[in-house]
Amino acid sequence: MADLLVHLEIPIPTEPLVGAPALTFARWLPIGDNQAINVEWDSIALKLWFDITATWWASQRKEEDLPHMVNVLAHRVFADAVVCDVPDDLLQYMAQRDFTRSPTPEEQPLQQRYDEIAERLLVLVLQTLNRLLSYVRSRKGQYWLSEYPIDSGRMSSYYVHFKAQARSGNGPWFRFGPSSIDPRHIELVPEERYVRRDEWDEIRTFVRGVARTPLARTLLAGAEALAASGQSRSALTEAVTALVQLGKINFLV
């Protein structure tokens, strides 16, 4: 058995609500191991850390520039995770995994163990990063920060997006990733949501006029859109507001 080091380069998730959305620091950046965020869980030791390259976007700043910058924009964060005591046969399979094809029946047990490690690691990384982003958004008011949905069904896409690579000991770096195909979920929309022929004249009349769409229905549509994008808390707030507008909920003061 040996330890496995996995390195990730994670873009900071943001919404385009300000001119330069990023995790924003004031005249500094938490550079160095003594400023890293360290978490241990389920035989995985995780370190989230920054260096000056996290700020590189349109220009490449130097560390000595930071004290003169009012807003230091971190567009990415790095994650190093040490997975302890990985069996030798699994390490060999990981290092030699051929992503151009699906695992053979003989390889399936190894791939399943690979996927289990990848899932545990992904959950730890996203939970830890989301806690950082949630704190800064709520305590510092950086409302443009968002979070990564913790969705094991998107593991393959996440690891590609994070440029995941791994190594054991002093061995060479290799691509790290679970099964190469993410499942696709298709939601069947009920026919009542489609525009019928007998509704078209009413729609054309509305478009030509100046009336507004019904507020409650607009809010409900927004709530569904938020829920579909994984923003469940915002979706719930929008839905409750819509129900208040419809008179379905009364608040007693």
Distance CA 150, CA 65 (A): 36
**Got the DSSP string for 8-38?**
EEEEPPB-S-SSS-SEEESS---BSGGGSEE
Amino acid at 244: V
Q: Where are the domains of the chain?
A: 2-175, 191-245
What pLDDT, on a 0 to 100 scale, did the predictor assign at position 152? 86
Give the model's pLDDT for residue 253.
43
Scanning the structure block, which residue is given the tokens 């507020």? 215
CA atoms of 164 and 80, how far apart (whole Å): 10
- Alpha-carbon span 111 to 180, nearest angstrom: 11
Per residue of the chain (253 residues), what is the pLDDT tens digit? 999 999 999 999 999 888 889 999 999 999 989 999 999 998 999 999 999 999 998 789 899 999 998 899 999 999 999 999 999 999 999 999 998 899 999 999 999 999 999 999 999 999 999 999 999 999 999 999 999 999 888 999 999 999 999 999 999 999 999 876 555 555 667 878 777 888 788 878 877 888 887 887 777 777 777 777 667 777 778 777 877 776 665 654 4
Query: What pLDDT does residue 248 have?
Result: 60
Is the C-alpha dihedral spanning 108, 114, 117, 122 positive or negative? negative
